[in-house]
Amino acid sequence: ILGNIKAKLLTAKASMIKGDINLTGDAVFEAESVIVGNLNTDNLELSGKIKGNIKANGNVVVSDSVFGNISCDNLILQNEDLSDSEITAKGHVIIENGVSVKGQVKCRDITIYGKLGGNAEAKEKAEIGEEGVFAGELKAGSFGVHLGAKITGAANVSGQN
C-alpha cells in the first residue's frame, strides 16, 4: 500500500505500507507487516516493524522493531530492541526480559525486566527486576531494585508520589 491511510480500525497481515497512517480507532499489525511512515491511533498491537513515529491515545504493545519515537498512555515492549528512541507515556512502561532499549524514557511508572541504556524519568515509581539492567541517569518518585538487578549510573529519588 502506497500513500496515506485514514480509517477507524485497521488490521494488517504481512502487509507493506509506505505512508502515514491516521486512525480514529485501534490498529493491529501482525508479523511480517512493515510500515514506513508515522502511525497515529488509539490502541496498537504491533507484531510487525515500523520505521517512523508512533503516537497512540491508548495502550501500545510492541513485539517487533520500532525505528522511531513512541508516545502513548501505557507501553509494553516485548521480544525486540529499540535504538535511539524517545519514549513518552502518561502511565506505565514495561520493558520485558530479553528486550534492549537505548534511548530516553519519560513516564509515570517504569518496570525494567530487560535492559535500558539511557535516561529515564518516572514521576512516581521505577522498578528494576531481578534480571533487569539499567545504565544511565534515573529520576523517580520511588525506586525499587530486585536482587540480581544491575545498575550503572546515577539515581535521583525524590520520595514524592
User: ∠150-77-59 over CA atoms, to 5°?
Assistant: 135
> What secondary structure does DSSP assign to 29-53, as a single string?
E-TT-EEES-EEESSEEE-SEEES-
Q: CB of 82 within 8 A of CB of 101?
A: yes
Tens digit of pLDDT for each residue in 132-158?
A: 999 999 999 999 999 999 999 999 998
Which of the two residues, 126 and 33, has the higher pLDDT score?
Answer: 126
pLDDT for 1 beyond 70:
no
Give the per-residue pLDDT at 81: 77
Contacts of 101 by beta carbon, 8 Å cutoff, 6+ apart: 77, 81, 82, 85, 87, 95, 114, 115, 116, 117, 118
Tens digit of pLDDT for each residue in 20-79?
A: 888 888 989 888 889 999 999 999 999 989 999 999 999 999 998 899 999 999 999 998
**For the CA atoms of 13, 40, 82, 131, what is the dihedral angle to 10 degrees?**
-90
- Euclidean distance between CA atoms 57 and 79, whole angstroms: 23
pTM more than 0.75:
yes
